[in-house]
Homo-oligomer: A and B are copies of this chain.
Amino acid sequence: MKISTLKKLFVGRPIATAQARHERLSKTNALAVFASDALSSVAYATEEILIILVLAGSVALAYAIPIGAAICILIALVASSYRQTIRAYPQGGGAYVVTKDNLGTLPSLVAGGALLVDYVLTVAVSVAAGIAALTSAFPVLYDYRVLLGVVCIAIIATANLRGIRESGALFALPTYLFIASFLGMLGYGYLRWLFGWEVAPAPARTGAATHAVTTFFLLRAFSQGCTALTGVEAVSDGVPAFKPPEARNARIVLAWLGLILITLFMGITFLAHHYHLTPVAEETVVSQLARQIFGGGLIYYEVQAVTMLILILAANTSFADFPRLSYFLARDGFIPRQFGTRGDRLVFSNGILILGGTAALLIVLFGGRTHALIPLYALGVFISFTLSQSSMVRRWLVRREEGWWWRWWLNAVGAATTGIVMVVIGVTKFTDGAWIVMLLIPLLIVAFLVVHRHYADVARQLSLEDYAGPPPIEHTVLVLVGDLHKGVAAALRYAQALSPSVKAVYVELDPDRTRKLEEKWGRWGLGIPLVVLTSPYRSLLAPFLDYVNHLLALGEHHMVTIVIPEFVPARWWQHLLHNQTALLIKGALLFRKGVVVVDVPFHLKD
**Is there an interface contact between A591 and B568, defined as CB atoms closer than 8 Å?**
yes
- A524 / chain B contacts, CB cutoff of 8 Å: 464, 467, 469
- A461 touches B (CB below 8 Å): yes
**Is there an interface contact between A14 and B470, defined as CB atoms closer than 8 Å?**
no
CB nearest to A593 among chain B residues: B603
Given A591-B603, A596-B600, A604-B458, verify A497-B473 contact (CB < 8 Å). Answer: yes
CB nearest to A601 among chain B residues: B591
**Complex interface: stretch among A216-224, A390-398, A485-493:** A485-493
**Is there an interface contact between A470 and B485, defined as CB atoms closer than 8 Å?**
no
**Is there an interface contact between B464 and A16, defined as CB atoms closer than 8 Å?**
no
**Is there an interface contact between B577 and A451, defined as CB atoms closer than 8 Å?**
yes
**Is there an interface contact between A576 and B336, defined as CB atoms closer than 8 Å?**
yes
**Complex interface: stretch among A49-57, A65-73, A260-268, A534-542:** A534-542
**Complex interface: stretch among A183-191, A296-304, A337-345:** A337-345
Task: Identify the interface centre among A14, A484, A600: most chain B CB within 10 Å of its CB.
Answer: A14
**Is there an interface contact between A464 and B485, defined as CB atoms closer than 8 Å?**
yes
- A578 touches B (CB below 8 Å): yes
Given A458-B604, A494-B596, A598-B598, verify A489-B467 contact (CB < 8 Å). Answer: yes
A591-B568 Cα distance, complex, nearest whole Å: 7
A523-B279 Cα distance, complex, nearest whole Å: 72
- A18 touches B (CB below 8 Å): yes
- A245 touches B (CB below 8 Å): no
- A215 / chain B contacts, CB cutoff of 8 Å: none
- A494 / chain B contacts, CB cutoff of 8 Å: 473, 475, 559, 596
Binary flags per residue of A196-218, CB closer than 8 Å to B gives 1, else 0: 00000000000000000000000
- A492 / chain B contacts, CB cutoff of 8 Å: 470
- A574 touches B (CB below 8 Å): yes
CB nearest to A340 among chain B residues: B579
- A516 touches B (CB below 8 Å): no
- A192 touches B (CB below 8 Å): no
- A169 touches B (CB below 8 Å): no
- A458 / chain B contacts, CB cutoff of 8 Å: 567, 569, 604
- A17 / chain B contacts, CB cutoff of 8 Å: 536-538
Q: B14, B475, B599: which contacts A497 (Cβ < 8 A)?
A: B475
Binary flags per residue of A470-507, CB closer than 8 Å to B gives 1, else 0: 11110100000000111101101110011100000000
Q: Kindly provide the distance from the CB of A446 to the nearest chain B CB, expressed in whole angstroms.
A: 13
Q: Kindly provide the distance from the CB of A453 to the nearest chain B CB, expressed in whole angstroms.
A: 11
- A605 / chain B contacts, CB cutoff of 8 Å: 461
Q: How large is the interface on A (under 10, 10 to 19, 20 to 34, 35 or more residues)?
A: 35 or more
- A583 touches B (CB below 8 Å): no
- A9 touches B (CB below 8 Å): no
**Is there an interface contact between A461 and B486, defined as CB atoms closer than 8 Å?**
yes
Q: B467, B592, B600: which contacts A486 (Cβ < 8 A)?
A: B467
- A180 / chain B contacts, CB cutoff of 8 Å: none
Given A487-B462, A498-B499, A499-B497, verify A538-B342 contact (CB < 8 Å). Answer: yes
A593-B490 Cα distance, complex, nearest whole Å: 12
Q: Kindly provide the distance from the CB of A513 to the nearest chain B CB, expressed in whole angstroms.
A: 12
- A515 touches B (CB below 8 Å): no
- A365 / chain B contacts, CB cutoff of 8 Å: none
- A526 touches B (CB below 8 Å): yes
- A15 touches B (CB below 8 Å): yes
- A404 touches B (CB below 8 Å): no
Per the 8 Å Cβ criterion, residues 319-361 of A in contact with B are 336-338, 341-344, 346
A454-B572 Cα distance, complex, nearest whole Å: 12
**Is there an interface contact between B470 and A489, defined as CB atoms closer than 8 Å?**
yes
**Is there an interface contact between A577 and B337, defined as CB atoms closer than 8 Å?**
yes
- A463 touches B (CB below 8 Å): yes
- A338 / chain B contacts, CB cutoff of 8 Å: 579
**Is there an interface contact between B470 and A493, defined as CB atoms closer than 8 Å?**
yes
A46-B599 Cα distance, complex, nearest whole Å: 60
CB nearest to A459 among chain B residues: B485
Binary flags per residue of A1-45, CB closer than 8 Å to B gives 1, else 0: 000000000000011111000000000000000000000000000
What 3 A-B pairs come out closest when comparing CB atoms? A462-B485, A14-B537, A470-B493
Known: A14-B538, A343-B538, A470-B526. 19 other contacts (CB 8 A): A14-B537, A341-B579, A342-B538, A346-B538, A454-B574, A461-B486, A461-B604, A462-B485, A464-B484, A469-B493, A470-B486, A470-B492, A473-B494, A475-B494, A497-B559, A498-B499, A591-B601, A596-B598, A596-B599
16 A-B pairs (CB sep. < 8 Å): A337-B578, A338-B579, A344-B537, A344-B538, A455-B577, A457-B604, A463-B486, A464-B484, A464-B489, A464-B524, A469-B493, A472-B493, A473-B493, A494-B559, A498-B561, A591-B603
